């Protein structure tokens, strides 16, 4: 009930703002945006949604695998982590737009440039979260495991994996929604297909209703992706706790 009230309030504020703006070029009415969205229905639109979704999925898989793998490696080697940490921080500090020129020059326009830029944006976060999880294990626990002969697979199963499951959940929740935003922005600037390219064409042709409709679609896709991945991460955590007991 509360969510319905929120949506109704947002719709009313949107309609009120459009009436104050007095021009559909500034802020179109919500009914006009909805009508334009219904007019765009068809395979071309959903084909672009699938293209963008494929890129987001590739970003999540690459960041998840590399972030956890490198995070474990660096978490177990503090000296190596301290040596590489300034480089990772430098990569994290570079805005996505700053990667654009060099990446497009090397890879050209297409699906690879948005994926690589999004990976460069989110990989440092995944790495730092994983390193914190590995280093968060108390030294006394590790020493106790050594005394009682808990080594190899058992150590990974009962100690490190237990520390990594919450980290993986944090990584997923952090990058799930942001991955959509970053991919669409890079599609808008250098893509050849996807929702971001459609938004760029809507802007160039002054199709304001289409631009708003596609932007709202992007928001819904980001929220849906974040919700599904968060629920999947929660289910993974529950299953792992049952498995490890």
pLDDT digits (tens, 9 = 90+) for 33-75: 888 888 888 888 888 899 888 988 888 888 888 888 888 888 8
> What digits encode the pLDDT tens for the residues 153-206?
555 555 666 666 677 777 777 777 688 888 888 888 877 788 888 998 888 888
Using pLDDT thresholds of 50, 70 and 90, give the confidence band for residue 151.
low
pLDDT at res. 149:
56
Find the largest Cα–Cα distance for the chain.
75
d(CA 199, CA 68): 34
In a domain, 51, yes or no: no
Distance CA 170, CA 97 (A): 25
Q: Range of 121's domain? A: 57-244
At 128 the pLDDT is 86
**Residue 19 counted as domain residue:** no
Number of structural domains (the chain) is 1
Report if residue 40 sits inside a domain: no
Residue 119 pLDDT > 80, yes or no? yes
Specify if 43 maps to a domain. no
First-to-final CA distance of the chain: 39
In this structure, what are the phi and psi dihedrals at residue 150, rounded to the nearest 5 degrees?
-85, 100
Percent of the chain at pLDDT above 70? 76
- Mean pLDDT rounded to a whole number for the chain: 77
Here the CATH number for the domain that contains residue 64 is 1.10.3720.10
Q: What single string gives the DSSP state of each residue in 44-84?
A: HHHHHHHHHHHHHHHHHHHHHHHHHHHHHHHHT-HHHHHHH
- The answer as to whether 166 is a domain residue is yes
Q: Cα-Cα-Cα-Cα dihedral of 174, 180, 186, 188, to 10°?
A: -150
On the CB side of 133, CA atoms within 13 Å amount to 26
pLDDT at 245: 47
* Residue 7 covered by a domain: no
- Tell me how far apart the alpha carbons of residues 239 and 149 are, in angstroms, rounded to a whole number: 26
pLDDT digits (tens, 9 = 90+) for 191-227: 778 888 899 888 888 888 888 899 888 888 888 877 7
């Amino acid at each position: 009930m509360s969510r319905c009230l929120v949506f109704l309030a947002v719709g009313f504020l949107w309609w009120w703002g459009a009436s104050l703006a007095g021009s559909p070029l500034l802020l179109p009415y919500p009914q006009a945006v909805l009508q334009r969205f219904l007019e765009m229905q068809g395979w071309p639109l959903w084909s672009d949604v699938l293209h963008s979704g494929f890129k987001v999925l590739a970003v999540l898989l690459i960041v998840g695998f590399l972030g956890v793998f490198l995070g474990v490696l660096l978490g177990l080697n503090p000296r190596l982590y301290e040596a590489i940490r300034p480089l990772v921080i430098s990569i994290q500090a570079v805005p996505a737009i700053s990667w654009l020129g060099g990446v497009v020059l090397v890879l050209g326009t297409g699906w690879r440039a948005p994926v690589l830029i999004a990976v460069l944006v989110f990989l440092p976060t995944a790495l730092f979260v994983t390193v914190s999880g590995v280093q968060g294990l108390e030294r006394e626990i590790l020493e106790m495991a050594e005394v009682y002969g808990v080594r190899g697979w058992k150590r990974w199963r009962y100690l490190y994996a237990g520390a990594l499951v919450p980290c993986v959940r944090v990584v997923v929740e952090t990058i799930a929604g942001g991955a959509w935003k970053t991919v669409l922005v890079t599609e808008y600037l250098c893509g050849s297909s996807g929702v971001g390219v459609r938004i760029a064409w809507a802007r160039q042709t002054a199709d304001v209703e289409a631009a708003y409709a596609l932007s709202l679609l992007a928001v819904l896709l980001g929220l849906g992706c974040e919700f599904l991945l968060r629920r999947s991460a929660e289910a993974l955590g529950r299953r792992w706790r049952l498995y490890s007991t």
